[in-house]
Amino acid sequence: MTTQRYHHGNLREALAEAAVQAVREHGPDGLAVRDLARRVGVSHNAAYRHFADRDALVDVVAEHALAGLVVAMQRRLAGVTETEPVARARRRLIEIGVGYVDYAVAEPGLFRLLFTAYPEAPEPDGKAGDPYGLLNAALDDLVDVGYLSPAVRPGAEIGCWSAVHGFSVLCTEGPLRSMPDDERQAALTAMLSSIDLAYGVS
């Protein structure tokens, strides 16, 4: 196991970075204060002064994972080029789903910790945003442009989130984890298109 150097006064940051890397490599089970102390080359007593227990490590890694998920979703939103209001609102909802799955596939350990190993959702960073808030805003936009009926808007976020999260889990822990990238993207596109069409006003 490679140890990481840290500058005096930066031990907490070094331990946090090591915790994120450990989860990337081994999933949530890779978190242990003593192991992280070895990674950064300090005694476990020094590490415990910054993180009293594993739960404290889970908190800091979950916050990192949440911020990363938001960045992935916002990156996809920033790439939307449609200018016609309905087309733009529809594309934004699709890209939010793509960003969510992109993050899950790229960071399966962090994704798993955030949604299965953390007992309560971490508080969203006010600057980074909130994935659930991004989804709700996109659905509200669909109502505003006349594509989504106000009558079916309540609870629509649960249906969207369930579909995209379920697809992400299938791709990271389930039978779709060995699916080639192009096939996964095609399946995701088909699923998101079906959600889009289902919400269209007839």
CATH at 66? 1.10.357.10
Does the CA dihedral 86-89-93-94 come out positive or negative? positive
pTM for the complete prediction? 0.86
pLDDT in tens, the chain (202 residues): 444 455 446 887 888 888 889 889 888 888 877 777 777 777 666 766 777 777 888 888 888 899 999 999 999 999 999 999 999 999 999 999 999 999 999 999 999 998 876 666 555 554 447 898 899 999 999 999 999 999 999 999 999 999 999 999 999 999 998 999 999 999 999 999 999 998 876 4
State whether 141 and 79 are in the same domain.
yes
Beta bridge partner(s), residue 148:
200
Which of these, 2, 55, 64, lies nearest to 31 by C-alpha position? 55
Q: Which two tokens stand for residue 72?
A: 């992935």
State whether 63 and 127 are in the same domain.
yes
Q: In the 8-state DSSP scheme, what is residue 149?
A: -
Q: How far apart are CA 8 and CA 65, in angstroms?
A: 26
